[in-house]
Structure 1
Amino acid sequence: MEAAILVVIMIAGFTYSAIKTKESWKNRCKRTLKEKYGKEPEKKEFKRELIRNYLDTVGGTQQVDEVTWNDLNMDDVYQRINNCDSTMGEEILYAKLHYAKQTKEEEELLEKRIAFCEADDEKRYHLEETLSKLGKRDEAYYIPSFIQTVEDFAISNLWVYQMLRILLVVVVVAAVVFHNIYALSALVVVFLVNLSVYIFTVRLKFDQEIHMMGTAAYLITVARELEQEYRKDKICEELAPLLPVFAKMDKKAFLLNIQSRNAMGDVFEMLQDFLLGVTQWHILTYMKVLNQFMDNQEAYLKIYRVVGELDAAVSTGSFRKSLPLVTVPEYEEAKQLEMEEIYHPLLHGAVTNSMELQHNCIITGSNASGKSTFIKTIAVNVILAQSIHTCTAKRMHLPHAKMITSMAVRDDILSGDSYFIKEIKYLKRILDALSEDELVICVIDEILRGTNTQERIAASKAIMEYLAHHNCIAIVASHDKELTELEKIGYDNYHFSEEFGEEDIVFDYKLQKGPANSQNAIRLLSFTGFPETIIERAENIRNEYR
């Protein structure tokens, strides 16, 4: 008797501890949701290969190629923006930054969603709470590819599991009706057989597929919540016509998702899982849900996109609120760029710059003066403008255009390409992208620096002249003063400068009109402690070339 009481007390204590732990976890999640909006996202592991799964699987026209993406450190920019609450939001946001092209209607819907978040903190919190139910489990990132190939995950010999379920029902009825040792023994045997099949077939062989299906099906439940809760706010109207085909999925989705959703290992849900397993419920329900997905793949992927875009919009609103200066872009047909107090989103306390660019331009200046950072700032903001309708500036006017760069060139040992070969391949892809049907904004840093001076100047001038005569806005940064002579064919001159002290160089990082007239390479050698003999010899050689 005492042993039984002790067991009851232990079970009660374990249950109480599990409940309190789960409550504490939920409260911590709520605090995080309430506090994170409008703040810079915390640094965390960047699961690039998982996050880009939607982009790789569903595809779409990528305006930003991988060279441009890497040149501009867009993974870092993405992480600065990403405050999403779900895998769907993270994947869609990543894809949007690659697509960098939205219709006016898509931009208006984005602004409506952001305005909703800004208007009422409590409503925004409840929206994030609903989205956070989807979580960020690793398997969820593969849902798009799972849905597109869902027929490959069908389970054969389904009749075996159906017969095991029927047999279980028969022996349960027999045990209740006859209530003898034979009926009870048959019940125990069938129970153990079904449990063994569940453990060694479902849990070991199909566990991953059932987890994936449960996670995928649970999206429908959450999407239905979103559609019903925010119908009057009109922030996810596209869900209404898509959900009816999945009308019978909600309860199945809830139960099938128990294993995937139960991060805290709730003892009651685990017990329920095994009891359902004995009835072969998981396998039979899995196939019913799978058949619905097979018949409605397109509708499901649209729901996935809508929910992801809603989450990405909340993240965009949070990004805007975290910035010291932000604006929405204004588009115009003219082939020109106007930016006021623009800055790079990754820099804290960044120096802002303004520019009215009605032609192509060449930016000159000394080493470390700010040329590369400024042209990256322009390129990043052109992408942000066309992907999330946001610019880190006081004002920005621009035309709709494809952004392409040639900046962070490196040699490639595996392919055997030298630095120069790699560079000319990068430049050639820019020329290949030029089209009369679509304006291209190309940003080039240190054009053709991988070859000798004479040929570099000649080839650079030829390429820049070619760009000037095509449907393109070219922004080129260079040390070569000879390129500033291209003003007569439509290249405006800008530069960055510095002030020399006795022991250091001071950069103000402010853009100025006209070509640069200073050089600092030899001064930098001196300030970093190179022997005086080298400094003097370098200055003498430089004077010989003047």
Structure 2
Amino acid sequence: MNSTHTLIQTYQSIINKTEQEVTKVKQRIYRVGTLRLVLFVAGVAGIIHFWAGGALLLMGIAALTFLPFLVLIKLHSRLFNRKAYLEQKIEVNRQELRAMNHDTSAFDGGSEFTNPTHLYSYDLDVFGERSLFQYINRTSTELGKKRLAYWLGKHLENKAAIERRQEAVKELAPELHFRQEFRILGLLYKGKLADESEINAWACSPSYYRNRMFLRMLPIVVCTINLLFIGLAVAGICSSTVAGTVFVGFSLSSFLFSKGISKIQTLYGKKLQILGTYADLIHLIEQQPVKSKALKEIKALVGGEKQIASQAVARLTALMNALDQRNNVMLAMILNGLFFWELRQIMRIEAWKEQHASELPHWLEAIGEMDAYCSLATFAYNHPDYTYPQPTSHPFKLQAKELGHPLMPRTKCVRNGIEMDKRPFFIIITGANMAGKSTYLRTVGVNYLLACIGAPIWGKEMVFYPTKLVTSLRTSDSLTDNESYFFAELKRLKLIIDKLNAKEELFIILDEILKGTNSKDKQKGSFALIKQFMNLQANGIIATHDLLLGTLIDSFPEEIHNYCFEAEITNNELTFSYQMKEGIAQNMNACFLMKKMGIAVIND
């Protein structure tokens, strides 16, 4: 039984068991709903029937019917929450099954992170539809999504940092239950991109009400005066009308603060309620035993083993939910009349902020980090045949066997290796159209990127020196900037040269350089560029149709190696092996393809 089949069975088994549980929960919801209806009808009917039986009997009927009814309302709500959780669990596992067949449409591709000027992400299809990000992304919070996008857009360049992240990914990969629990809870309420900044802005804002001694004392004074007049009325010293007038006066006076409180509630209420979901995620982090250094650091952000962060966030959520009771006008008037309840409640929220504001950004950071790590761990779990590459401090070394592109179906992907173990060193790849040059460049680039973010790669083995990746595979013109294709490409090449002159270490991947000029000019420029790369101690791969570039090996016999992808014409049919071979390409196919499509080719 192969590993892929085992994974499919695992996900399908979870779906089957969860569907059975959903059926049971639905049955309980139906029974509880029916019982609620019976109790309510019985209570109303009993009170009507025994209306003349006295207050004690009516109170007894109400206690026997309405109190259980209220308890069942709470149980009903819990059952609906459980049902939502289970249905989300089923969907999460169905998404994984579809992803096994390269259908990742259910996952966010991070199109907002697409940047044509980025050093490599645009060329390698890191973001957007059918992208690497979409293939890897299992984040359930905006915090995690931004963190994962940052990792892919700014890869690690330090051996120790890569090994540390690999250690964390390896630890989380087998923790299927934890990863799915984290994803499900995060998806039950998915926040917006601005949540983190707005929550942090609230945490950093000064307290308005608690900073004023008069306002801090007011609820105590109001409550004391109310108790005094109620006591005097009960003792018969003053009339109940006076006590009632004082109460109503306080209730109306409380509206002086309502506008300011409403503004705070409107600005931050919904954002802070998101923390209710985050409290569950923090609690998961607190409970999860960890061994790797990176995961221990995440756990330390939420207080380590003390498990106080989730309790604190849960308390803030409870305070915000309680403040929402002010929307019940009658209840708000009674509570405000008694002790300025709204003012007291907003000051309790400000007190929470004063106590935990400095910690809140760390808690959000922990959620984002863990969410991103769960994505990489799920990627590793779903690809048990992938290998963790070995970073090295030897500049420059890149050796890999049987590299494949993760986004290509396994049955169609022809895998090739790479080897370079010195600086400077360039591989020049020649070959016919559609023979596999560009795919090979992207395969090397994507696997190198995966290696540099601490993820496993599709290859038998890989040893690599982590350095900054720069590509030029898909340069485009710009109508808005009045910039030609050729000028855009020159800008990218100038950027590479400037970085090399600044002594930055680069791994460069270029496809058909200087495409926007004539053949003679292109050839001359290409020769000059590669020689400059050599003088600047660069490493990289260049794919080209210009076979003469292969002669550069004569000038740099130890620093340049030629490889090619050949096309074969057999029985008037064009075939490709997509297997990389040593040497310079011998066969080209442009004229053959033109003839096959009915385009006349006239020989001089």
Question: How far apart are 1:450 and its partner, in Å?
Answer: 0.6
Question: Against the structure 1 CA distance between its residues 196 and 328, is the aligned structure 2 distance closer, same or farther, given a 3 Å change threshold?
Answer: farther
The 1-side partners of 2:242 and 2:84 are apart by 48
Q: How does 1:489-528 map to 2 (within 5 A)?
A: 489=556, 490-500=559-569, 504-528=573-597
The 2-side partners of 1:327 and 1:247 are apart by 35
The 2-side partners of 1:37 and 1:111 are apart by 22
The 1-side partners of 2:108 and 2:462 are apart by 33
Letter in 2 for 1:343: G
Q: Which has the larger radius of gyration?
A: 2
Letter in 2 for 1:516: A
Matched, 1:351 2:453: no
Q: Is the 8 A contact 2:198 2:271 kept in 1?
A: no
2:378 to 318, 323, 326: 318
Question: Against the structure 1 CA distance between its residues 367 and 135, is the aligned structure 2 distance closer, same or farther, given a 3 Å change threshold?
Answer: same
Matched, 1:440 2:440: no
Q: Is the 8 A contact 1:400 1:439 kept in 2?
A: no
Gaps in structure 2 of 5+ consecutive residues:
1-39, 48-61, 235-239
Matched, 1:66 2:118: yes
Question: How far apart are 1:74 and its partner, in Å?
Answer: 0.9
Q: How does 1:424-503 map to 2 (within 5 A)?
A: 424-434=490-500, 438-488=504-554, 489=556, 490-500=559-569
1:110 to 156, 162, 165: 165
Letter in 1 for 2:165: L
Question: Which residue of structure 2 aligns with residue 535 of structure 1?
Answer: 600
Question: Which residue of structure 1 aligns with residue 401 of structure 2?
Answer: 340
Question: Which residue of structure 2 aligns with residue 22 of structure 1?
Answer: 81
The 2-side partners of 1:503 and 1:283 are apart by 81
Question: Against the structure 1 CA distance between its residues 207 and 455, is the aligned structure 2 distance closer, same or farther, given a 3 Å change threshold?
Answer: same
* Superposition TM-score, scaled by structure 2 size: 0.72
Moved more, 470-479 or 452-461: 470-479
Identity of aligned residues (%): 22
Q: Is the 8 A contact 1:114 1:313 kept in 2?
A: yes
**1:330-379 alpha-carbon deviations (Å, 9 max, x no partner):** 12304232111111121122221122234311111122221111111111
1:87 to 126, 138, 142: 142
Letter in 1 for 2:407: L
The 2-side partners of 1:308 and 1:231 are apart by 17
Question: Against the structure 1 CA distance between its residues 535 and 211, is the aligned structure 2 distance closer, same or farther, given a 3 Å change threshold?
Answer: same
Question: How far apart are 1:476 and its partner, in Å?
Answer: 0.7
Q: Is the 8 A contact 1:338 1:357 kept in 2?
A: yes
Question: Against the structure 1 CA distance between its residues 195 and 409, is the aligned structure 2 distance closer, same or farther, given a 3 Å change threshold?
Answer: same
Matched, 1:208 2:267: yes
1:137 to 179, 191, 199: 191
- Higher RCO (C-alpha under 8 Å, 6+ residues apart): 1
> Which SS does the other structure have where 1:309 is aligned?
helix
Q: Is the 8 A contact 1:154 1:290 kept in 2?
A: no
Q: Is the 8 A contact 2:430 2:437 kept in 1?
A: yes
1:169 to 223, 230, 237: 223
> Which SS does the other structure have where 1:320 is aligned?
helix
Q: Is the 8 A contact 2:109 2:137 kept in 1?
A: no
Q: Is the 8 A contact 1:327 1:393 kept in 2?
A: yes
Moved more, 466-475 or 420-429: 466-475
Moved more, 162-171 or 309-318: 162-171
Question: Which residue of structure 2 aligns with residue 382 of structure 1?
Answer: 448
Q: How large is the Cα RMSD of the aligned pairs?
A: 4.2
Q: How does 1:149-298 map to 2 (within 5 A)?
A: 151=204, 153-154=205-206, 156=208, 159=212, 162=216, 165-166=219-220, 169-170=223-224, 173=227, 177=231, 178=233, 180-188=240-248, 190-191=250-251, 194=254, 197-198=257-258, 200-204=259-263, 206-213=265-272, 215=274, 222-223=281-282, 226-227=285-286, 229-230=288-289, 236-238=295-297, 242-243=301-302, 253-257=313-317, 271=325, 278-280=341-343, 283-292=346-355, 296=358
Q: Is the 8 A contact 2:286 2:302 kept in 1?
A: no
**1:129-151 alpha-carbon deviations (Å, 9 max, x no partner):** 6x738953115x54157537854
**1:291-327 alpha-carbon deviations (Å, 9 max, x no partner):** 4466x3xx65454444433332222121022237411
Question: Against the structure 1 CA distance between its residues 86 and 235, is the aligned structure 2 distance closer, same or farther, given a 3 Å change threshold?
Answer: same
Question: Which residue of structure 1 aligns with residue 433 of structure 2?
Answer: 367
> Which SS does the other structure have where 1:425 is aligned?
helix
Q: How does 1:302-317 map to 2 (within 5 A)?
A: 302-317=362-377
Matched, 1:97 2:152: yes
> Which SS does the other structure have where 1:347 is aligned?
coil
Question: Against the structure 1 CA distance between its residues 77 and 282, is the aligned structure 2 distance closer, same or farther, given a 3 Å change threshold?
Answer: farther
> Which SS does the other structure have where 2:600 is aligned?
helix
Question: Against the structure 1 CA distance between its residues 313 and 481, is the aligned structure 2 distance closer, same or farther, given a 3 Å change threshold?
Answer: same
The 2-side partners of 1:169 and 1:395 are apart by 73
Q: Is the 8 A contact 1:419 1:450 kept in 2?
A: yes
